[in-house]
Structures are given as C-alpha cells and as structure tokens.
Structure 1
C-alpha cells in the first residue's frame, strides 16, 4: 500500500530574510580590529549584570540583612589563618613522609582547645592535616555482591571472545543476557489452555499459526516477530475466552504488537486490516491491541526459542544448513499444542540435538551442556515429541511451513528424511 509523501513546507512570499546593513558588513570585514562602542544605542535599556560584574565580584562588599559586619581585626585574623593553612598544605605536599602518629597528635591538640579560646592559624590548619592523612590512607576494598559478579567461563567453553571487536554481539556480557532470559522463562510457563476455551480447539489454533507464517513471509518480517506473536497469542488465550470469529483478530493484533517490538519498520494498522480481508474494523483492532497489552501487563519481552537456538548453534559452530534444519523443527513445533508447556531454551536445545543427529554431527557435547544447562536426559522427552510430530501424516491444509523450508533459500531441509528413532535412542544412552 503506497505511503503518502509528506510535502515540504514552502516559505511564504511575505517573509523575507533581513539584509545586513553597511555598518555590520564593514565590521565583519574588519574582524577583530574593529572596537565595539560601549555606549548602548539610543532607546535601548541599560545593560546590567548579576552581582555587578563577575570579574570585579571580589572587590565588592555585599551586606546581607540580618548579618553583622565583621570587624577589621577579625577579618585580618581569618585571612591570617587561611594563609597559614595554605602554607601548611604546601609544606605537606613537599614533605614525602608524614606519619599517622603526628596526625593523631595534631588532632588531640585541636581537641584540647576550650570553648571561648581564640583560634590560631595552627588550629585552622589542623583540619587540613586530617584531610591529607585521610587521602594518604589506602582505600577500603569492598566485596562485590554475588549477583553482580561476572560468571567465570572456562577457556574451552568461551564462544564470545572471538567477537571482542563486534559491539553488536555484546561479547562482554552475552552469557549474562542469556542466563537472564533463561531465568525469566519461569514467569511465562504455559499449560494446555484449550479446556478453558469452549469455542476453540487445537485445529483452529494450528490454522491461525499457519496463516501467521504466511503473513510473516509476505511482509518479510523477522522470525523473532513470528515467534513472539505466537507466544503473545497463547498467553492471551490462556487468560481470556475468545470466540472463534475473533481468533484471527487476536492473531493479527499480536503480530502487529510483535512487529512494533522487533521490526525496524513495522507494518501499519491498515496493512493488517487488509490481510484480514477487511473482516474487522480499525477500532476493533486498536481495542484488541489495548486488551492484549493489558492482559499481559505490558510485559511482552517473552523469551522465545529462536534466540536460544542461534546461541546454542554457535557453541558447536554449526553450519547454516544445520541451523536451518533446527529452525524448521522449531517452527513446526509452534503448531503442536503438546509442546506449548515446554520452555523456549529446552525446546531450542531439543531441536538442535535432533538436527545434529540428522546431519550425523554427533550428540550433545559438554560445551552445549555448559551454555544451555541441559543434559541429554533432559532433552530426550522433548525430542521424542518432536519426532512424533514430524513422522505424523501431514495435513494438506497446513503446509505453509513445509513449503517455506522446501525452498532452495532454506536448503530444502523440509524434504530431508526424518532420522530413525532407534538412532536417537542410542544418542540418549551416551
């Protein structure tokens, strides 16, 4: 849909730029040689600066109300004490060794001054000695809290040092980011919510996700946008009963929110109304957007398996064909209700293990155990569910993902045969 261009505002004919007078042009040509006149022009207000003049402020005595004037004797005494303190500080800087015992003795000497006694220059310099002694003391070393300590990564498991010059990869705290996302998954654990939806069933949800995959392809959106839209849809449906006629509105609105969160240039509202064949009004989509955000408490930074998958594939330096195969398994899992309760990091690990075994690239290595936190025994139940999903007879009506990954751009990974379950069981026993 063409976006109307914004017209540039033209300058009205009535406004003109004032021309420089001859005097100003002469002053510009002469530069610093021309001395400006100090007298103000005729009719101009008299020039006034705060506190008379900053350069002459030390010469002006300002009397404040409610404060008595100082006598000449006390003023001389104060200036004498200040000069003595400055001389004492200079001598402290020249002398390299000042013991802490002398500083303590000076401190006791100042404390012996009784109230009512006059302050001598030496007494005024005592605080200066205390400051110098405090500055010479070694700084106190404080222990860093445990939650602020940077995690120690063994050299054989370090996968971020090679990107030390790439600021986009955040090599200094990449592991901390994914550890935080892994802890955050506990907040977004779902269950099979179809029992609370009297008007929906798993087949309707699969049809919706198949349609969202086509939307992602047509708009050329990021894969993160698709995963986040599906997650928001599931979280909204787990808390709010929805009629089947409004299911497409929920999915398209979730895709709109995810696009605003992930995309650099997200599609507009009219684009989503168009792909829905104008089945909904603009006010309905905006109202649904507010409803989804309020239901999710505006917390839409949900950890998705796609991010973990790219991170874990980097641990074994997996090629693009192996990563694409794992992405195919992961995207197919979006349509299966049985895999909704699984955490994103666990699901991504299972998809990667299945892709590694399919490509005959080995099993779950120690570096993968370190970064994912899962062992092969943790992944076995999820891998079995993925295998059962892949060997099931395909539905001809739900073929958007298979057609997508059967293209040459995606290395035609959808046409690869599924690995035998006996081979997987042998990997589980390792």
Structure 2
C-alpha cells in the first residue's frame, strides 16, 4: 500500500512565526536582495563561499549582551594588577606634559628638533641589521644531499626524462636499502610444525607458473614471496592451507603492483576450487593484519635492475642475473639475505659467467657493498645452481629456457676456480 504524504500545515494569522535564522535579527522582515553589493564577489547559489567562511560573522539576538558581560568580567579580573601600571603611565605623561607646558614654545621646538636629529644620527649598521632577514641556518651534514662524483653518475643521461627521476634515483635506492633493516628474516621453518623447505619450494615454483600464465610483473612475484615468508615467520600454517596463503599473497601483490590485477575468481580457478571465496577473502584480511598492512617490502628485483644500469649491462646479462635471482627464491637458506645483497650477488655471478669482469668501484659506490661482503652469497648461489636440478621444480628453468629470455637457463655454470679468482681480488 503506498504511503501517503502528510500535508504541510497552513500558517494562520494566529499561529506562531517561524524561528529567526542565524543571519536574521528581530524587527520588520526585509526581503534580502539576491544580487551581491557593488564590488563584492559573487557567491554560490547553494553553498557559502568556503574560502571566506572564516570572515563571516554571525550575529544572533542576545549574543552581543553575553559577549559584553564576558568582557566586563575579564576587565574586572584584570583591572586590579593593571591599575598601578596605568597610574604610572599617566603620571609620566602628566609630568612630561607639565614640564613641556612650563617651557616656552621656542625651547619646546628646539627639544623636538634635537630628538629628531638624534634619531636621524642613529648608526646605519643598526638600521641595516634590523631590516636584514634572519640568517639562514646551516643544513646538518646527514641532511645534505650527497654529491655524486662524475665517474659514478649514471642518472645524468636521463636528465630530460622526468619518469626516471634522475634527481632522486640515488636517494630512493639508499632509502630502500635502509628500509630493508625493518624486514630482516631468519629461517622460520623450525617454528612451522607442519611444513618443510620442500613444501615451500613447491609453492614458490607454482607461484612462478601463476605469474607467467597471468603475465604479471616480476615485482608481483617477488613481493608475493616476501609476504609469504613474513607471514609464515609469524603464524604457524597447516600444510593444507599453504596454497591458500600463496595464492592470497599473490592476489595482494597484484593489487599493489599491477595496473589490472586478476580478480578473486581467477585465483579460485587456478586453485581448482579447493577453497571458497570467503576463505581467500578471510585469509587476505588475516595476512594484512599480521603484517600490520606494511607490505611495501624492498625486493631484490628492483636493486638488480638498478645495479645492472650502473655497469650498462646488456639485456642478456640482466636476464641471466634475473634467472639466478628467481632460482634463489626457492632456497629457504637465502631468506635471511637482504634483497640488495642478494641482487648484488646475482649480478656479480652473471658478470663472471659472461666474462665481463668483477665487482667494479661504481657498483661498490651505488650498492654500498664490497667484494668481501658479496662473496659468501655468491658462493651459496653457485653451489645451488651447480647441483642437479630437481624434477619437481621446473617452472623457473622452463621459463628461462625460452628465446624471449635468451635461453639463459641452458648456459653452463662458471667453474669454481674462475669464480674464486674474481672473488679474491
């Protein structure tokens, strides 16, 4: 049954008048003009002028009386201590006036002229000091912009490209390197009673396939692996929910990195409907709360591209280093290695494999690592890559066996003796 609208009551001669608005005062009703006064800005029809809202003074009946009474009370409170000061000021004025009245007009004029001459004869230095702006404080040394030597400057060539941020590139990666300290992990497998390193490696191998099938960015893959490790380091997970954790971290990383991320139904499909929609949404909230919504984790892939740019490495050399870095994701022993150090080790191993030299001074300047700092991680990577491949973990090797990736997975590993010669320099 449709609802009936109540009729608006008619205002009769004996009925009460409506209350006055804030801008109206008691008295005869005067119709306000819709046009603004001469010279005043035109106001909006529906909203008040927001920019001048602080200048609007609203006067209500009876408010002036309250303000006047409040002022009188304040004057009464402050009148006692101020009487003496006022009396002294009045006495000084009266004494000066009496003395001036007692002097003849000619002497009064001469005294005034003398005061003016004294004011004009004030030292120029005092006037300049009074008019000069305050001195600029020196910037502390740790806040000053670091001067990059000309031989280590790799961003000046992109001075005209605003997307490359050449003025801030060095500062950005120095900040990311400092931020790594907040995301240092250790081997968390002893705290996982239902998991082992092999299960984690199988999960990451599957995530590589997901990234390749969905054509996602490599940054998405690395961020998903980082979030998985940080979540597993804080929360025990049953082996049946491990795939749910991996697919959910990939979903979160896609929202963080991708322009057009896959939807929840896509991840339910690749899991063969092993989980429900409510489960993946609940897991997403659980992961974000466990990580305190801080998922901007520095990943080694960004450092790798930066350091490869420093030595003008070709795409084939960079792809080889990316292959080493992606293979390292499946090793739980390398979870504790910082992303910048891992990227440095992968690039150094790729340079030695391509016979392009060792760790150059420009890499030491931009990365902050020396050869002795990178050497232990390089040896671990070389030992991992020289081992026989596992038949269960084929996704990374198959991915980098394509011509698009220069078939770097089929390249032979450099010998240990050659590698030690480079690392000992």
TM-score by length of 1: 0.72
Structure 1 segment 30-179 matched on structure 2, within 5 A = 46-48=32-34, 54=39, 136-179=131-174
Displacement of 1:65 = 6.3
2:407 to 400, 403, 412: 412
Give, in whole Å, the separation in 2 of the partners of 1:364 and 1:300: 31
Structure 1 segment 240-251 matched on structure 2, within 5 A = 240-251=235-246
1:376 pairs with 2:375: no
1:201 pairs with 2:196: yes
Give, in whole Å, the separation in 2 of the partners of 1:253 and 1:114: 83
Give, in whole Å, the separation in 2 of the partners of 1:262 and 1:114: 76
Give, in whole Å, the separation in 2 of the partners of 1:179 and 1:291: 31
Query: Which residue does the alignment assign to 1:393?
Result: 388
Structure 2: give runs of 5+ residues left out of the alignment: 1-30, 41-62, 69-88, 98-111
- RMSD value over aligned CA atoms? 2.9
Query: Which residue does the alignment assign to 2:349?
Result: 354
Displacement of 1:134 = 6.7
Runs (4+) off by over 3 Å: 52-55, 64-68, 113-118, 132-136
Structure 1: give runs of 5+ residues left out of the alignment: 1-44, 56-63, 69-110
Displacement of 1:169 = 1.0
1:366 pairs with 2:361: yes
2:325 to 330, 351, 367: 330
Query: Which residue does the alignment assign to 1:235?
Result: 230
2:300 to 305, 310, 334: 305
Displacement of 1:136 = 4.0
Structure 1 segment 155-304 matched on structure 2, within 5 A = 155-304=150-299
Displacement of 1:227 = 0.2
Displacement of 1:217 = 0.6
Displacement of 1:150 = 0.9
Question: 3-state DSSP class of the match of 1:294?
Answer: helix
Question: 3-state DSSP class of the match of 2:385?
Answer: helix
Give, in whole Å, the separation in 2 of the partners of 1:385 and 1:291: 34
Instruction: Note closer, same or farther for the CA distance 1:301–1:115 as it changes in structure 2 (3 Å cut).
Output: farther
TM-score by length of 2: 0.72
Instruction: Note closer, same or farther for the CA distance 1:114–1:284 as it changes in structure 2 (3 Å cut).
Output: farther
How far does the alpha carbon of each residue in 1:206-246 deviate from its partner, in whole angstroms, 9 at most, with x for none?
Answer: 11000000000111100000000000000000110000000
How far does the alpha carbon of each residue in 1:53-75 deviate from its partner, in whole angstroms, 9 at most, with x for none?
Answer: 556xxxxxxxx96899xxxxxxx
Give, in whole Å, the separation in 1 of the partners of 2:134 and 2:328: 56
